Amino acid sequence: MPQNGGPSTARGTGGQEPLPFLLPGSQVGRYRIERRLGIGAMSEVYLATDDSLGRRAAIKVLSSKLVNNPTITERFLREARALARLSHPNLIPVFEDGQIGTPPRPYYAMELLEGGDTQKLLEERGPLPSPVVAAVGAQAATGLGEAARAGIIHRDVKPANLGISRHGVLKVADFGLAKSYAADKSLTARGMVVGTADYIAPEQARGEGLDERADVYSLGCTLFHLLTGHPPYRAPQGPSVKEYLEVMRMHLTAPVPDVRAEMPATDPDLAEAIAAMMVKDRSARPTFDEIARRLARIAARLDGELPRVTRQLFMVPSGSGAGSSSLKEVPLSKVRAWTRIAALAVIVAAAIALALVLGR
């Protein structure tokens, strides 16, 4: 065990989840660790407190499995740098970054989103009404537009990456796949498919060069999901890789679905705005500024706003290293399973894209 509550060196075995790298009470920069909130394929996230300011934060640390991978390490650092460069009410801010442990593992401290995210909101309340979705879309488009002006493409816009502050302000989060227009092209080579299949733009599925219009498409898919309770394209049940590839094919070739066919009560102007965002031809999609203005007008007309915190997400007593949280840690077995699925899908995605191109 570490001295003075520092990083733990113990690891799980036999497919069990690893022990937390940072133990309760350990110090990371100016932050005191309270508990681990979750683990993912690339990182672990911890609840922490800056005792000097009395402010809680989320600490994101690169996974131990990836610390010796220079490409992944660079992508992690790029996320921190991307967020640190941006200052906007609808983008999650980074307070501090650095390295900890041996070998050094990069980390950064960011705003703790105590309102959860729109995926959790959807799971709790079911399909969201037009006023709320219009407000979500307007704020997300504003934040993503600011990122685009700084030359940053998110590339993984989805409900889980649209966080909500305790004051009911939307924050675009998780820029782990973000790419600067001037970034080192070796990190994500042309022809590599990166992103979540349910929200992926056609040009992204083909492995083409991307700009902010890919994020416009993904945001349209996200708003469709929030209105209906499911992504716009759903494949018949089957092997996971087959479903993944079928959904990508539908993004490439299937007609844009009309949300009103499933949810007739959807505001017509909102439905039209979402359909415009999801057109296959990226040159015909609206800009983020156009989307933000249009959706803000709809939200104002419908008196739409995001909900504030309706429940306590982080039940950790002040000054204590123990507690409970409504956020569950992601089982490592699920992380590994989806990582394998994504890897297999990437291998064959290029072949599908090539077949579609040759078949034109």
| Domain range list for the chain | 21-113+313-329, 118-309+340-358
Measured between alpha carbons, how far is 273 from 291 in angstroms, rounded to an integer?
A: 7
Token pair, residue 4, equals 């003075």
For residue 148, pLDDT over 60 is answered with yes
Measured between alpha carbons, how far is 198 from 256 in angstroms, rounded to an integer?
A: 13
Measured between alpha carbons, how far is 201 from 93 in angstroms, rounded to an integer?
A: 26
Could you please state the CATH topology (level 3) that the domain comprising 21-113+313-329 is classified under: Phosphorylase Kinase; domain 1 (3.30.200)
Give the pLDDT confidence of 233-263 residue by residue, as tens digits. Answer: 988 876 678 888 899 999 999 999 999 999 9
pTM, full prediction: 0.76
Query: What pLDDT is recorded for position 116?
Result: 84
Active site residue 117: no
Span 213-242, average pLDDT: 91
Query: What pLDDT is recorded for position 155?
Result: 84
- Burial 275-292, CB ≥16 within 10 A → b, else e: bbbbbbebeebbebebbb
Q: Which of 53-67, 112-126, 230-244 has the lowest mean pLDDT?
A: 230-244
Query: What pLDDT is recorded for position 279?
Result: 98
**221 to 23, 79, 199, 264, 275: CA distances (angstroms):** 39, 23, 5, 18, 9
Residue of 18, 38, 107, 56 whose CA lies nearest to 317: 56
Q: Which of 97, 156, 174, 198 is catalytic?
A: 156
For residue 284, pLDDT over 90 is answered with yes
Give the pLDDT confidence of 342-354 residue by residue, as tens digits. Answer: 445 544 554 555 4
Domain 118-309+340-358 is classified in which CATH homologous superfamily?
Transferase(Phosphotransferase) domain 1 (1.10.510.10)
